Structure 1
């Protein structure tokens, strides 16, 4: 794809925006469910046999509550993946539309729409920069919605916490933390749930901006399909 050449027409955005919002709602609900199960684990207390991971490769049989948490955690991972896919579909769509509406190339080349989330250091600001660029090109002169910074701040809190979105440890380790210091996992869960809620607001806000520009252009007979 060549970022110097505008799209021949605006891409429909409402449908994919609805999917992205639904993805955020689903992910937020999944992480809220994790928090509920962590509270239940903390209330039940550490079994006399110790945590599930006994060390040196030894694991005891899981209790019913621990086994249920594994299921909840897996469903949460699936929900988070679906959220990521629908959000990236929406982001790609509004990025292309911003290029058509403004007649200007995006600030970041298209690979950063995906690579910006996984390249170390760059993932601290590139995704927010892409969203901000979409807004500035779609609504020149208008301030960036406050929800963008809220979403990004909570996302970073969940990502950099060591126990949240980018956590690579085992579910049994999370269970151990729930038994011994549940406050920290719950703070991480709250950050992720908050990020999901703010993300849904961001999607709705930027979608509305682009839809308003497109509707106004049609009313004034402006051609928004052939800008370069």
Structure 2
């Protein structure tokens, strides 16, 4: 069965997941910047400052989207390779086929259930320690809270933003933007904390699974004394000469007074 190295891909994927988590935390904390800009706009009655706050939040989101896309691509590839390696491990009994290692992340609704089953398969058949299965549950629970909470908060914020005055003219209308950013911080903390927990748990899982698989792969590769050489090329060892056979005298039937032939 073919096997795939996962150590380098695990390092890249874990780094991308960490970067995406950090970028999301920065976007979640943007109301701290937005409220300062809204107060400055209210003091100056300057709409351009409010527009600058909107553009600044968009700029905060761009690195997160890039990191998320990179992390998603690397994680899907790593999951597929790690799952394919299970087919070559004696004693491994995975519950899902390698196709689900890719489709499980991409198919709507299935991505709420399949990835946790794939990761549980990888952990159980790679590390062989059941006491670590709780880490998969922690990742899955925090991941669901992050996905659902982020969408809920984004939809609620959009509804509140649509009720604001598009072109504020007085102190009262500018003050509504200040309250908007003040009230936006607390709801964002829930998916932010869930994202942090999910990111840490997933990085730990990737590193442990990859280390266990790489250890098994390294112990299964034969160690050659030098560089491999193709048969027939210079350096290929010549076939060993046949061992000489000691001559023997022919066997003769025994006769009275004679000896047994050697």
Q: Decide which structure has the larger Cα Rg and report it.
A: 2
Please say if 1:101 is aligned against 2:94.
no
Q: In structure 2, which of residues 67, 73, 78 is the aligned counterpart of residue 85 of structure 1?
A: 73
Q: Could you tell me which residue of structure 2 aligns to residue 67 of structure 1?
A: 55
Q: Could you tell me which residue of structure 1 aligns to residue 28 of structure 2?
A: 35
TM-score by structure 1 length?
0.73
Q: Distance in 2 between matches of 1:20 and 1:13?
A: 10
Q: In structure 2, which of residues 123, 127, 144 is the aligned counterpart of residue 135 of structure 1?
A: 123
Runs of 4+ deviating beyond 3 Å: 42-48, 102-106, 118-121, 139-146, 167-170, 174-179, 215-220
Q: How has the CA–CA distance of structure 1 residues 186 and 13 changed in structure 2, closer, same or farther, with 3 Å as cutoff?
A: same
TM-score by structure 2 length?
0.65
Q: How has the CA–CA distance of structure 1 residues 141 and 79 changed in structure 2, closer, same or farther, with 3 Å as cutoff?
A: closer
Shift of 1:37: 1.5
Larger RCO (CA within 8 A; separation ≥ 6): 1
Q: Distance in 1 between matches of 2:53 and 2:185?
A: 15
Shift of 1:116: 1.9
Q: In structure 2, which of residues 124, 131, 144 is the aligned counterpart of residue 156 of structure 1?
A: 144
Moved more, 38-47 or 146-155: 38-47
Please say if 1:214 is aligned against 2:217.
yes
Gaps of 5+ in 1: 1-7, 49-59, 221-228
Please say if 1:196 is aligned against 2:199.
yes
Q: Could you tell me which residue of structure 1 aligns to residue 110 of structure 2?
A: 122
Q: Distance in 1 between matches of 2:206 and 2:213?
A: 11
Q: Does the 8 Å contact 1:145/1:202 carry over to 2?
A: no
Shift of 1:109: 2.5
Q: In structure 1, which of residues 13, 16, 20 is the aligned counterpart of residue 9 of structure 2?
A: 16
Q: Could you tell me which residue of structure 1 aligns to residue 240 of structure 2?
A: none
Shift of 1:218: 4.7
